[in-house]
Structure 1
């Protein structure tokens, strides 16, 4: 069995990957800069999906010879544009914002855990206490509240 085709298909494929990859990367950076800081903010579920889609699209552009750079750049621009449009609408519409982003959840208040909310959000007492300690407090009694933010981080008040 000849293993050479599995390891090396020729220099043209490597040259294409270098050229198209560099140009696609530059296009993605340009689109992200144009779309604003919100595209690169802490990830909520919607942002995570867009980020994965961008990575997948960039990968396809790099590795699939059947995808021309213009088509790939259009796909990247479409994803970034849709991200911009959704965030534009969600900033102006409370209903749209609720569809796209989760609301923050109160997990503890005045030293008492909100067990129903913790169960719904699948957060343990140990995780909350760890966040409290990481914030420089000894225990839950030392903080006013613990909130699970829409990006999954824990805020200690």
Structure 2
């Protein structure tokens, strides 16, 4: 049976030293890459974050991966994330391909069940988001939007997003989904 609790001091020392170096690398590259890498994550950002965590762990624990190779892979992911998000910010068609669109899941007292089913949301999740915003009744809600970062945004009834029977310009694009 393999050793469970301790193998040797050299291996332990290598893991501790590599962990410190990978930690510093990720902190520095995250700082350089800006707020986007730690903000509310959309699907694309989440995938990159998971990959960076996996590469960091592999670099720390696997002796076959030298620090420089692990660092190169982590930095490459940060650069790719920067380039993709930069291009998405200037190219709406590209942005549409990689990012999810916000979607209305509740509107003027009506649950939009097709949208809720497509987004795999339950009534309980909508109620939880309302409670988090201090709203206790669906009557006090004009709309609930499921955002690109998977956050539920509650639009209170007091904002009157519907005027003269027409939907406001901010909600209109979301109603067409």
Partner of 1:144: 142
2: CA distance between counterparts of 1:28 and 1:137?
39
Match of 1:118 in 2: 116
Alpha-carbon RMSD: 1.3
Q: Could you tell me the TM-score, scaled by structure 1's length?
A: 0.93
1:58-97 alignment, distance < 5 Å: 58-97=56-95
Aligned partner of 1:7 in structure 2 is 5
The separation in 1 between residues aligned to 2:45 and 2:149, in whole angstroms, is 9
**Secondary structure of the residue that 2:22 maps to in structure 1?**
helix
Secondary structure at the counterpart of residue 145 of structure 2: strand
Stretches of structure 1 that go unaligned for 5 or more consecutive residues are: none
Q: In the alignment, which residue of structure 1 is the partner of 2:34?
A: 36
Deviation at 1:24, TM superposition (A): 1.4
Unpaired segments ≥5 residues, structure 2: 156-177
With the length of structure 2 as denominator, give the TM-score of the two structures: 0.83
Aligned partner of 2:127 among 114, 129, 140: 129
Q: Which stretch of the first structure deviates more once superposed, 17-26 or 5-14?
A: 5-14
Higher relative contact order (CA 8 A, sep 6+): 1
1:50-96 deviations in Å (ceiling 9; x for gaps)? 11101100000101111111111101101111111111111111111
Deviations along 1:5-64, whole A, 9 cap, x unmatched? Answer: 343221100111111111111111111111111111111111111111011000001011
1:156 alignment partner, SS class: strand
Tell me, what secondary structure is at the counterpart of 1:66?
coil
Query: CA offset at residue 131 of structure 1?
Result: 1.8
